[in-house]
Structure 1
Amino acid sequence: MATERLVVVGGDAAGMSAASQARRLKGPAELEITAFERGHFTSYSACGIPYWIGGQVPGRDDLIARTPEEHRARDIDLRMRTEVVELDLAAGRVRTRDLDSGSEAWTGYDKLVLATGARPVRPRLPGIAAHGVHGVQTLDDGQRLMASLELTEGSERAGGRRAVVVGAGYIGVEMAEALVARGYEVTVLHRGPQPMATLDPDMGALVHTAMNRMGIRTVSGAEVTKILTDDQGAVRSVATAAGDEYPADVVVLGIGVEPRTALAREAGLPLGESGGILTDLSMRVRGHENIWSGGDCVEVLDLVAGRMRHIPLGTHANKHGQVIGSGVGGGYATFPGVVGTAVSKVCDLEIARTGLREKDALAAGLRFVKATITSTTTAGYYPTAAEMTVKMLAELRTGRLLGVQIVGGAGSAKRVDIAAVALTAGMTVDQVVSLDLGYAPPFSPVWDPVLVAARKTVAALRAAG
């Protein structure tokens, strides 16, 4: 039997998880695996970059789970600093460019995995390419930001280090915390009414208040119009449509990311509304028998709203890779979808959400009730007790849980996992109230805050008839 050829485009979570799983199922005599990665690093935790920048993680290499040499030792031909620039689906081959030498070559395949990831959104603004303006998505991005920070901190301008973060989503607030930890005076500029647009505005307001209390200046409704530079072309300030100007030695873009799918688009592969690649449950690209895709470049099924969404998270990417590798290696696995669970923190404030926000429920045509409660993370008398706010949504007719948002002190965020399991199981809020959760004063009040929110939501349902 002839040896099959697998080509993997992208060497991080989804791509290398797929390659590794395929190798477990098929040896080199059955499956030849070639992987291409455009950056300097592979199999790393992009989610850990803010904590490396902030100093909580000692060094860059602590974020790397598996080096290129370790992959090659498993008979995976991993080629670094090599970018795939064209897909020839008819001929079953990819064109690559060595980013150091500029040389190009074609590589044939029988099976193809696209794990091209996502890229930071960079608005087309004057000065956006200035020295000191950084997006943060890959470890290469983190390396460049670290170098810029070290240069700034070693210069004469370091007397009052100032950073502006544009955008207040997960990356924005995490990078704000990292820069505060490095001693920067931090201003966060964002266009929305409140930070963390992944939350409803009333919950985002809690984040806003806490960030300001921590010394992070947070400006809502701020539309950035220009990055101003000095005579050397380095950033010096950020201007907004309101005519305000915010001094900056470094600017971090936390506006969000978009799927990196130019290759797929040019090859005519199916894309969704957000530009992510569309796949079936086995992560096979729709309409293409021998092409799979996973990670931050795909759209996934939202199990609560029943629609496709782009949700770039490392947890999903690794699961996608396992599913893809099983399919490529002759096994069987599926990725059924997600409920939209995410957690984050800024300094001592924890932030979590799962399921639908109010506007998501309205967009899905759902009628719902909502309830918000404030409790404590532990028994109120326990020394580590911290305030915790929980917001819950439930479908009006059925009582089905639709979404939960949590903002609070240490011990708050991971409680969202209770709601994530309930959402996945399709539970009603009445059923959530009856959950047998663990209790002891150091961990929870007698009534866990999630259960208190569920009780209040049940009451709202009854009041609504």
Structure 2
Amino acid sequence: MSERLVVIGGDAAGMAAASQARRLKGPGELEIVAFERGRFSSYSACGIPYWVGGDVGSLEELIARSPEEHRARDIDLRMRTEVTGIDLDRQRVRARDLESGEESWTGFDKLVIATGARPQRPPLPGIDAPGVHGVQTLGDGQALLDSLERAEGRRAVVVGAGYIGVEMAEALLGRGFEVTVLNRGEQPMATLDPDMGRLVHRAMDGLGITTVGSAEVTKILTGEDGRVRAVVTDDAEYPADVVVLGMGVEPETSLARAAGLPLGAYGGLLTDLSMRVRGYENVWAGGDCVEVLDLVSGRERHVPLGTHANKHGQVIGANVGGGYATFPGVVGTAVSKVCDLEIARTGLREKDARAVGLRYVTVTVESTSRAGYYPGAAPMTVKMLAERRTGRLLGVQIVGREGAGKRVDIAAVALTAGMTVDTMVSLDLGYAPPFSPVWDPVLVAARKAVAAVRAAG
């Protein structure tokens, strides 16, 4: 008699788990039922800003695998069906068909929770008005595009200056809108240290994006037609024909919480190395609804990225399907851009290092993406943190033009390997004038960090 795997969530982690489990076990051994409350499966939410901005031509280009393709592989994917409860004692889930309203129970032998994350949407007056948009799903992206076409004016306000905020600012600028970004922090990109965020602020201003720091939004005003007309902060009012919310996300774990599953400090599910929920033999979780181990700080954190979600799904599917795989953790690598400015980081910021009791040194270097004499050489700034006593690399942040962002991968590998900055200096990186100076900017920073560690004793 075959077992039944139930998957809650039809995007990256959930369907990667279902697909990998199906590769290892056929329909006669494992029945797979997946529930997705939305209209799309296995799509790239990370691509939404580029679709809105016109770099990606259509919604379909962001879909990796349709529901029909999953069903053709003997995965019973039920769209527009929301799981409303988990009964762990009886090993079953309750689901509601969002079209008909009908509810039913489905039993499971093994359960995968991949419920993702929800956008932070504070209960501000006017936040649900027409013209105010989040950008979490493909449906959100389509609604925003429709709103941009209907907007009578060309004034856009983005609330939040994290990854989504700056990417949406670029998209709206490309659509011909006058863009204002309102940020609660003093500088954009809170994933960077403030001195590096200041570089992003300066570059965004240079691109024609008005970036306002220390701006706490208090309400959204609407016109006589009920549509958004302005965003209000503690000390100013900003006219708006469309508003995009980029205030970050938090784990969507309401089902897990109600079922009594263990959650961490950030509200995400806690799992072991196999992505099995701690203390529950037949329950796994992955994607944006979990917390993961930070390999540099040694603490759990919430890192909602598609790369991790797909890896989680592969690990879960292997273990559910009778194989073996683990997800050891992350170093916190991320890269983004706003127009031609590239922004990257990995490892710890200064405040992260202080929070876990690490003593450190920092260095910042200015360099170029290519040999200085080669056409197209663009400036970049690299900041590096190293542990004061040992010289262990703790983190790297990079802000620059073309060729800057992906250099962070050098540091990501070094962090994963636990390298010191002294060892990094000897890395045999590729060199030719069209690609880098003789000393790559990351290695220049490593050399300077070695000197700083020695000077600190």
Q: TM-score range by the shorter chain?
A: over 0.9
1:181-204 C-alpha deviation (Å, 9 max, x unpaired): 100100000111100000000000
Where 1:72 maps in the other structure, the secondary structure is helix
Where 1:33 maps in the other structure, the secondary structure is strand
Between the aligned partners of 1:135 and 1:360, the Cα distance in structure 2 is: 28
Where 2:335 maps in the other structure, the secondary structure is strand
Between the aligned partners of 2:173 and 2:377, the Cα distance in structure 1 is: 25
1:170-229 C-alpha deviation (Å, 9 max, x unpaired): 000000000001001000001111000000000000000000000000000000000000
Aligned partner of 2:229 in structure 1 is: 236
Where 1:140 maps in the other structure, the secondary structure is helix
Aligned partner of 2:180 in structure 1 is: 187
Pick one of 211, 216, 234 that aligns with 2:209: 216
Displacement of 1:10 in angstroms is 0.2
1:265-320 C-alpha deviation (Å, 9 max, x unpaired): 00000000000000000000000000000000000000000000000000000000
Between the aligned partners of 2:118 and 2:138, the Cα distance in structure 1 is: 12
Displacement of 1:145 in angstroms is 1.4
The answer to whether residue 406 in structure 2 is matched with residue 406 in structure 1 is: no
What does 1:9-24 correspond to in 2, within 5 Å? 9-24=8-23
Between the aligned partners of 1:269 and 1:201, the Cα distance in structure 2 is: 37
Between the aligned partners of 1:151 and 1:92, the Cα distance in structure 2 is: 48
Where 2:226 maps in the other structure, the secondary structure is coil
The answer to whether residue 453 in structure 2 is matched with residue 454 in structure 1 is: no
The answer to whether residue 427 in structure 2 is matched with residue 435 in structure 1 is: yes
Between the aligned partners of 2:97 and 2:146, the Cα distance in structure 1 is: 24
Where 1:61 maps in the other structure, the secondary structure is helix
The answer to whether residue 310 in structure 2 is matched with residue 311 in structure 1 is: no
What does 1:41-440 correspond to in 2, within 5 Å? 41-152=40-151, 157-158=152-153, 161-242=154-235, 244-440=236-432
Where 2:445 maps in the other structure, the secondary structure is helix
Displacement of 1:82 in angstroms is 0.4
Q: State the AA in 1 paired with 2:281.
A: E
- Decide which moves more: 415-424 or 90-99: 90-99
Between the aligned partners of 1:50 and 1:81, the Cα distance in structure 2 is: 24
Displacement of 1:444 in angstroms is 0.1
Where 1:284 maps in the other structure, the secondary structure is coil
Between the aligned partners of 2:310 and 2:271, the Cα distance in structure 1 is: 16
1:315-335 C-alpha deviation (Å, 9 max, x unpaired): 000000000001110110000
Between the aligned partners of 1:318 and 1:291, the Cα distance in structure 2 is: 18
Where 1:207 maps in the other structure, the secondary structure is helix
Between the aligned partners of 1:114 and 1:144, the Cα distance in structure 2 is: 27
Displacement of 1:136 in angstroms is 1.1
Where 1:352 maps in the other structure, the secondary structure is strand
Displacement of 1:143 in angstroms is 1.8
1:5-42 C-alpha deviation (Å, 9 max, x unpaired): 11000000000000000000000000000000010100
> Which ranges in structure 2 are unaligned for 5 or more consecutive residues?
none
Between the aligned partners of 1:26 and 1:253, the Cα distance in structure 2 is: 42
Where 2:38 maps in the other structure, the secondary structure is coil
Displacement of 1:150 in angstroms is 2.0
Between the aligned partners of 2:29 and 2:412, the Cα distance in structure 1 is: 40
Displacement of 1:137 in angstroms is 1.4
Q: State the AA in 2 paired with 1:257.
A: V
1:142-166 C-alpha deviation (Å, 9 max, x unpaired): 12212211222xxxx23xx011000
Displacement of 1:259 in angstroms is 0.5
Identity %: 79
1:91-141 C-alpha deviation (Å, 9 max, x unpaired): 111110111111111111110000000011001110011111111112122
Aligned partner of 2:31 in structure 1 is: 32
Between the aligned partners of 2:140 and 2:253, the Cα distance in structure 1 is: 19
Q: State the AA in 2 paired with 1:3.
A: S
Q: State the AA in 1 paired with 2:159.
A: V
Where 2:208 maps in the other structure, the secondary structure is coil
Q: State the AA in 2 paired with 1:78.
A: L
Between the aligned partners of 1:6 and 1:312, the Cα distance in structure 2 is: 24
Q: State the AA in 1 paired with 2:354.
A: L
Where 1:79 maps in the other structure, the secondary structure is strand
Between the aligned partners of 1:233 and 1:129, the Cα distance in structure 2 is: 10
Q: What RMSD, in angstroms, separates the aligned Cα atoms of the two structures?
A: 0.6
Name the TM-score, length of structure 1 as normaliser.
Answer: 0.98
1:328-379 C-alpha deviation (Å, 9 max, x unpaired): 1011000000000000000010000000000000001000000000000001
Q: State the AA in 1 paired with 2:367.
A: S
